Structure 1
Amino acid sequence: MFKKGKPKALMAILLVLSLTMTACSSGNKKGSKDGSEEYSTVYSGEITTLNYLVTSTTLEFALAANLIDTLIDYDEYGVVQPCLATGWNVSDDNLVWTFKLREGVKWVTYDGKEYGEVTAQDFVDAMKYILDPNNESQTANIAYSVLKNAEKYYDGEITDFEEVGVKALDKYTLEYTLEKPTPYFLSMLTYVCFFPVNGQFLEEVGDKFGTDNINFLYNGAYIMETFEPQTRRVLVANENYWDKENVHIKRLNYTYNKEAATLSPELFLRGDIDYTDVPSSVLDEWMKDSEKKDMIRPNRTSFYTYFYAFNFDPHFAAEYEPENWKIAVNNVNFRKSIFHALDRKAAMLTEEPYNPEDRLTNTITPKNFVNLDGVDYTQLGGLDKFSDNDSLDEKLALEYKEKAMTELKGKAIFPVKILMPYNTSSSEWANRAQVIEQQLENLLGTDYIDVIIEPHPPTGFLDETRRAGNYALEECNWGPDYADPETYTDPFTPDSNYNWPHLAEGYKESNGKNTYENMIDKAKAEVFDIEKRYNLFAEAEAFFIDQAFVIPYAVGGGGYSASKLNPFESPYSPFGVAGERFKGQRIMDKPMNTDGYHKALEKWEKERAEALKKAAQ
């Protein structure tokens, strides 16, 4: 069941494994029947909707990114580029943003027929839909966190949408008015809640919008020609697209296979698909085979952050003793015993056996996300205490165990059952769950804990586990929505359905909010002094980790793959959907190898530094 309350952005939490790839390359073309480039892949986790106005999962908005264009975009170096907006400006008080739209951009149907023109009103209609709580948009909070009167409209305090800070000044002029100055507003505009929708079409199809490829309009680089759930989906280049000269891959073939994670390496070797992860189960074999090794390259790490979450509002089966878990998890020493006992390196070896330390993170906000005058955010506000040190400490873990057992004596029943679900689409995740179960029990003792791992299929995984409160400890992740540390606090507030620390006992302050929430509110309120703002967020994150509300684990990406796409020529952005686009990409004749990867990385880093310097001028 969903938690009651405002929906919260849940971008990419507990990613189901999808073998889509969002990079591009230069090189020879792989020909399709009509002589154009064609890309093929397999996937195991099916989407549940095409309605980008309500979804917040990576699997679904990554698809929408190729079907719908945004106001701005990012190039391969992470520099903002015009897209549906050709220009913009902001008022002197930093509250009013005005965008001039590109004229002549078309909405088309699934069979390529022109339906209408993209106008400023399309952004207004989309926001009105998102801010209607009856539509249950999982990204509404992102919009109402910045737009004037948007939260009041969402909550029903005002009923006139004209009072909300989004206006079509004329056919091609869009205006956003913010509740307060928001330093990162422009970086939010490639997230799904700022996508446009044709209001007339939305009204025509009603609740059918996004249920299939027919009840959908397209203004992006691709059209979904075929949508057969749990069979296949096919995207073809949009011939009416305003920038079709930069759409080089003319056909994207996605084939469903519930064993995609296991079978894709062999499918790649046979030439059936153009991308595969190379899982740890076959990595050694590939590395020892000279021909296969020449196909492998490292994956870039991403700004998705992975962590182990404690559930403070358990709704799992009685056999796993949810009430006993609730008593235990509300004891800080019990949480700290798990925090210091979890061997994150051992867990990561299931996915990255060669360089596991490259993936580990000791904070929720990853390093190199934002900095303050050259000082990385993770070194601010006491966060360096955690950033520079491994959380694994067996001596401390056992000390906290003894404290917890003493404090919980007569209150909790030992061993405490710890229900830990995992997603069966990933063999690494399945192996990791087993490693963690054995490692925690061996260190802390089966007199203290009983870790119970539970498999769940990829389709509907989030709904059946985390969103339903059907876990005690679970591997989760979060991706940034905009260029500010605030984005990494979004899942940890009362508005989220993460079952989070506002429910933890012993932290409520005089205003009725918990300590962490008050710290975050204070940081959010500082919108002019960026140094103070960043330090306040860092102090809040340090407190959050210190109280073991969460166990930071890893950053996304990494691992190894074989791919006909070049990761250094794709749109680059840590947030939003830009990095999911195939626009601009080409297919190489053969996959990039590790040596080629490192050379390309070095070249890209130099070019990016120059591009960012030029953009800043």
Structure 2
Amino acid sequence: MSVWYKKTLGILGLGLAATMVSSSVVSCGAASFDAILNRVWDTSVYRANYTLNVSSWNTAHSMQAEDSRIWSNTYDTFLSTDQYGRIYGSLAVSEYGQQIANDEKYQYVGNHSPDSKEWTYAVREMNWVDTRGNIVIQNRENIVLEGVLNAAIYALNPNNNSDVSELWVSFIEGAEEAQNLFREGGESAAKARRFILGEETIDGRHFGITKGTKWDNDGKTYDTIKFNLTKSAPYFESLLTYSVFSPIYGDNIGVANDYTKALFNGAYYVQQAPQNGKIILKKNENYALKDSTNIETLEYNYLDGGSAAKERTLFESGSTSFFELKSDDLKGWNRYIGKGEESYENPNFGSQYQVDSPDKSASFMMVYNYSNANITNGAVGKAEQERALSASRLLQSKDARAYISTTIDRTEMARYFSKTIDEPGNPSQMLRNTYTGVGVAQDGSGVDYTNYVGDIYKEKTGSVDENPLADGKDPYKGKGQELTKKSQEQLRLDTVKFIQDNNIKTQKVKGYNGERVVLKLILSPSNNTGMNPYINLMMKSFNSISNNPIYIQTQTMSSTDEYRTEGSKGSTDLFMSGWSPDYKDPSSFLETITLTGPYRGYNGTSRLLKTDSSGEYVLANESLRTTATKELTEAFVGYSEGYKTADTEKTVPEERYKAFAEQEYNFFYENFLALPIYTRAMPKVWQVSYLTPYTKSVEAFGTAQFKLYNVLMDRQLRSREEYQKALEEFIKRDEEVKADWNTHRDAAHWRKKTN
């Protein structure tokens, strides 16, 4: 028996107060609850899993979430977040801004100008260490500033193909000019380096990151760094919890995929990190905040074909330190919670506790690729080149994209995550209908940004639903008439006409009548026993529609590394991809899908379009031209320009969110340029863990959700009563911190400790 998602959320809270039942419930082949409860854990070692190899040991190169899982512990960020969601100084000094402002109520780490365009930070000492923990580059004057400028030189040089370059251009004054000079090469590139290093100005202006005035406090002198921004950004400190502006140890270190040649400046250093092998991180004794690095060793085992069930069974065997009880693990759900609605009030296992999930703000979408990289890749063979060309040309059609978006049943895929909590016959409760995640940003009245997108949907479609884009609703399937003024049948017919008018090649598909345009969707082998069967079911249902002119072919890659590589270079027509917020503003999501955003390789716009001598976007490959090329180009250019206008000109949250919402609606519901699909996390989850409850950040933005600095571990799982007490104490402390930023400062990153 399932229950409504909204009902589940309320009952989950009650579960913590429920009486623990007998621990004799066992699952065949699994450790008994008694064995789990009696196990004693070595609190100096944390063990977890990873599913993708680290793609780079250079924080200025990559923005892969799986990289951040390791990076968060080996590379320091300027700021971080604690268990209360409070931003504190990591590389920076936590109380600098408060003391400069001479205001105990000031809740920023840095000192900022009234327009929030200039931010200054005092920084701690920093050392670079090797894979043995030995200092290679000793702390010295302005070493942090040098490292940040190294990152700027690397990220802004287009030859390095940095994933984070657009964030530099979007936020840092002078970054765009430097990037353009690098693009010209030769003496211009040399000038860009001098400009970034402060040795030269451009039109009398300095690069946006400079040395500030030294700060003397309590007999100690600190270097300061000043950030000058291109726009007003009151949320800038949330961005500094992410690694994009973190220092690197050289500006020519490249992709740095060999950990043995890398250097580290975080709470841990990498002792070993073989491909598909055990990653071991050791406590860095040369780290400024080492006194609050409580766990000595972090071990990450490679997990090929990972799933929620496998993570649970690894914990049960004693191989890992924790697991989250997830709704896609039906067997584990029934074992630890039980069957039936009544089990929520009386779960089978009491030694679990409720936490917010950092994944709650992550959104996953299906990317449409408008210029498959295989079109020009002779190595794949002529047949694949022609098929890829046909697919890319077809996807230029708004009718074809609308037909896919409003015909495909997203629930059949999302059900993988929600089968334990769904009501039969209703949409999956894990459907997500906006790209920007829920909880990323709220206006002054506490209204979530996603409600603004919903308001646009209501205005455009006439929907009477109070919140039509809320998770768990389906505003796409069968809504062709509402969204396009065309029925599903008319969208199909217009797609057929587009194929004929543009001489797009079709092919016979085994098991189906007629010929179709074949679109390829690649899948990760790590999901073979989990999500992939659900994706295949969704595509099979779509392909089985009578007279469908489109066939979606799924292909599982041979390795997760191949899957990631093929997706990033755009060698597939469709691609499932997720995004988590880097900072607390809708722009953290919406910038990524502009023409210069990091998805430009995935959706092919970097190959489809180029700028001419007048700066206008034009088709880069004439073989791709169709009757819809002009309309598609206008849609992307219109979105990108509309986004930039909203981002730079709107600073009042209500006005900013409305302008952003209009652009997001246009991208996903007017022009169907991609399709949001699901969220993989319930807002509240249960965790069985040796981590001391409520000592770890659960913020979705930045990298602190992966950070083990200042986190404690327990030798044994606690009783239900002890977890309930810990929850009550945490809620009390959390309320106190929100009322007074100066309370409960009990770690090395605070200069003055408080209760």
Aligned to 2:531: 429
* Alignment match of 2:662 (pick from 532, 539, 551): 539
The Cα of 1:421 is off from its aligned counterpart by 0.8
Deviates more, 1:315-324 or 1:159-168: 315-324
Q: What is the CA–CA distance in structure 1 between the aligned matches of 2:171 and 2:262, rounded to whole Å? A: 28
Q: What is the CA–CA distance in structure 2 between the aligned matches of 1:441 and 1:598, rounded to whole Å? A: 50
Q: What is the CA–CA distance in structure 2 between the aligned matches of 1:451 and 1:256, rounded to whole Å? A: 31
Question: 1:40 and 2:124 equivalent?
Answer: no
Q: Contact conserved, 1:351 with 1:428, CA < 8 A, in 2?
A: no
- Equivalent residues in 2 for 1:356-375 (5 A)? 357-372=428-443, 373-375=445-447
Unaligned regions of 5+ residues in structure 1, if any? 1-26
In structure 2, give the amino acid aligned to 1:110: T
Question: 1:49 and 2:67 equivalent?
Answer: no
Q: Is the strand fraction higher in 1 or 2?
A: 1
In structure 2, give the amino acid aligned to 1:124: L
Aligned to 2:321: 274
Q: Aligned with 2:555: secondary structure?
A: strand
Aligned to 1:166: 209
Q: Contact conserved, 2:231 with 2:648, CA < 8 A, in 1?
A: no
The structure with more radius of gyration: 2
The Cα of 1:591 is off from its aligned counterpart by 5.6
Q: Aligned with 1:460: secondary structure?
A: helix
Q: What is the CA–CA distance in structure 1 between the aligned matches of 2:154 and 2:243, rounded to whole Å? A: 12
The Cα of 1:365 is off from its aligned counterpart by 1.1
Residues 259 and 530 of structure 1, relative CA distance in 2, 3 Å threshold: closer
Aligned to 2:681: 557
Aligned to 1:348: 414
Residues 41 and 209 of structure 1, relative CA distance in 2, 3 Å threshold: same
Question: 1:183 and 2:183 equivalent?
Answer: no
The Cα of 1:257 is off from its aligned counterpart by 4.3
Compare relative contact order (CA 8 Å, sep 6+) and give the higher one, 1 or 2.
1
Q: What is the CA–CA distance in structure 1 between the aligned matches of 2:286 and 2:123, rounded to whole Å? A: 17
Q: Contact conserved, 1:39 with 1:274, CA < 8 A, in 2?
A: yes
Deviates more, 1:267-276 or 1:280-289: 280-289
- Equivalent residues in 2 for 1:476-495 (5 A)? 476-495=577-596
Aligned to 1:81: 88
Residues 611 and 219 of structure 1, relative CA distance in 2, 3 Å threshold: same
In structure 2, give the amino acid aligned to 1:360: L
Unaligned regions of 5+ residues in structure 2, if any? 1-36, 97-109, 182-187, 199-205, 215-221, 339-346, 375-379, 423-427, 459-467, 481-487, 507-514, 609-627, 744-755
Aligned to 1:578: 704
The Cα of 1:416 is off from its aligned counterpart by 2.2
Q: What is the CA–CA distance in structure 2 between the aligned matches of 1:37 and 1:28, rounded to whole Å? A: 18
Residues 366 and 279 of structure 1, relative CA distance in 2, 3 Å threshold: closer
Residues 408 and 616 of structure 1, relative CA distance in 2, 3 Å threshold: farther
Q: What is the CA–CA distance in structure 2 between the aligned matches of 1:79 and 1:349, rounded to whole Å? A: 35
Q: Aligned with 1:339: secondary structure?
A: helix
Q: Contact conserved, 1:526 with 1:532, CA < 8 A, in 2?
A: no
Q: Aligned with 1:267: secondary structure?
A: helix
Q: What is the CA–CA distance in structure 2 between the aligned matches of 1:595 and 1:392, rounded to whole Å? A: 45
Q: What is the CA–CA distance in structure 2 between the aligned matches of 1:560 and 1:31, rounded to whole Å? A: 20
Q: Aligned with 1:523: secondary structure?
A: helix
The RMSD of aligned alpha carbons is: 3.5
In structure 2, give the amino acid aligned to 1:535: K
Q: What is the CA–CA distance in structure 2 between the aligned matches of 1:464 and 1:594, rounded to whole Å? A: 45
The Cα of 1:588 is off from its aligned counterpart by 3.6
Identity %: 22
In structure 1, give the amino acid aligned to 2:430: R
Residues 490 and 445 of structure 1, relative CA distance in 2, 3 Å threshold: farther
Residues 482 and 286 of structure 1, relative CA distance in 2, 3 Å threshold: closer
Q: Contact conserved, 2:431 with 2:677, CA < 8 A, in 1?
A: yes
The Cα of 1:260 is off from its aligned counterpart by 4.5
In structure 2, give the amino acid aligned to 1:273: T
Deviates more, 1:274-283 or 1:46-55: 274-283
Q: Contact conserved, 1:85 with 1:99, CA < 8 A, in 2?
A: yes
Q: What is the CA–CA distance in structure 1 between the aligned matches of 2:46 and 2:208, rounded to whole Å? A: 41
Question: 1:497 and 2:519 equivalent?
Answer: no
Residues 93 and 362 of structure 1, relative CA distance in 2, 3 Å threshold: closer
Q: Deviations over 1:577-602 (max 9, x none)?
A: 12110112223445689999899778
Deviates more, 1:189-198 or 1:554-563: 554-563
Aligned to 2:156: 131
Residues 556 and 286 of structure 1, relative CA distance in 2, 3 Å threshold: closer
Q: What is the CA–CA distance in structure 1 between the aligned matches of 2:533 and 2:353, rounded to whole Å? A: 23
Aligned to 2:185: none
Q: What is the CA–CA distance in structure 1 between the aligned matches of 2:245 and 2:576, rounded to whole Å? A: 29
Question: 1:306 and 2:364 equivalent?
Answer: yes
- Equivalent residues in 2 for 1:308-327 (5 A)? 308-316=366-374, 318-319=383-384, 321-327=387-393
Q: What is the CA–CA distance in structure 1 between the aligned matches of 2:535 and 2:719, rounded to whole Å? A: 31
Aligned to 1:63: 70
The Cα of 1:494 is off from its aligned counterpart by 1.4
Q: What is the CA–CA distance in structure 1 between the aligned matches of 2:54 and 2:676, rounded to whole Å? A: 28
The Cα of 1:42 is off from its aligned counterpart by 3.3
- Equivalent residues in 2 for 1:285-296 (5 A)? 287-288=334-335, 294=349
Q: Deviations over 1:460-508 (max 9, x none)?
A: 2455332222222221111211211111112211123232569573437
- Equivalent residues in 2 for 1:257-272 (5 A)? 257-261=303-307, 263-272=310-319
Aligned to 2:176: 151
The Cα of 1:275 is off from its aligned counterpart by 3.2
Q: Contact conserved, 2:294 with 2:710, CA < 8 A, in 1?
A: yes
In structure 2, give the amino acid aligned to 1:241: Y
Q: Contact conserved, 1:39 with 1:253, CA < 8 A, in 2?
A: yes
Q: What is the CA–CA distance in structure 2 between the aligned matches of 1:28 and 1:130, rounded to whole Å? A: 50
Q: What is the CA–CA distance in structure 2 between the aligned matches of 1:193 and 1:326, rounded to whole Å? A: 32
Q: Aligned with 1:454: secondary structure?
A: strand
The Cα of 1:608 is off from its aligned counterpart by 4.6
Deviates more, 1:276-285 or 1:74-83: 276-285
Residues 266 and 371 of structure 1, relative CA distance in 2, 3 Å threshold: closer
Normalised by the length of structure 1, the TM-score is 0.84
Q: Deviations over 1:312-346 (max 9, x none)?
A: 11234534722322332122122112111222222
In structure 1, give the amino acid aligned to 2:120: T
Residues 257 and 565 of structure 1, relative CA distance in 2, 3 Å threshold: same
Q: Contact conserved, 1:297 with 1:592, CA < 8 A, in 2?
A: no
* Alignment match of 1:464 (pick from 565, 578, 587): 565
Q: Deviations over 1:281-335 (max 9, x none)?
A: 8632662478995277787242111011111112345347223223321221221
The Cα of 1:63 is off from its aligned counterpart by 0.9
Q: Deviations over 1:9-35 (max 9, x none)?
A: xxxxxxxxxxxxxxxxxx999554xxx
Q: How many residues of Structure 1 are paired with residues of Structure 2 in the alignment?
A: 580
* Alignment match of 1:337 (pick from 398, 403, 421): 403
- Equivalent residues in 2 for 1:410-429 (5 A)? 410-411=501-502, 412=504, 413=506, 414-426=515-527, 427-429=529-531
Aligned to 2:104: none
The Cα of 1:543 is off from its aligned counterpart by 0.8
The Cα of 1:567 is off from its aligned counterpart by 6.8
Aligned to 1:393: 477
Q: What is the CA–CA distance in structure 1 between the aligned matches of 2:270 and 2:52, rounded to whole Å? A: 18
Q: Deviations over 1:163-183 (max 9, x none)?
A: 311112356111111223223
Normalised by the length of structure 2, the TM-score is 0.69
Q: Deviations over 1:136-157 (max 9, x none)?
A: 3221211121111111111216
- Equivalent residues in 2 for 1:372-387 (5 A)? 372=443, 373-380=445-452, 382-385=455-458, 387=469
In structure 1, give the amino acid aligned to 2:661: A
The Cα of 1:263 is off from its aligned counterpart by 4.8
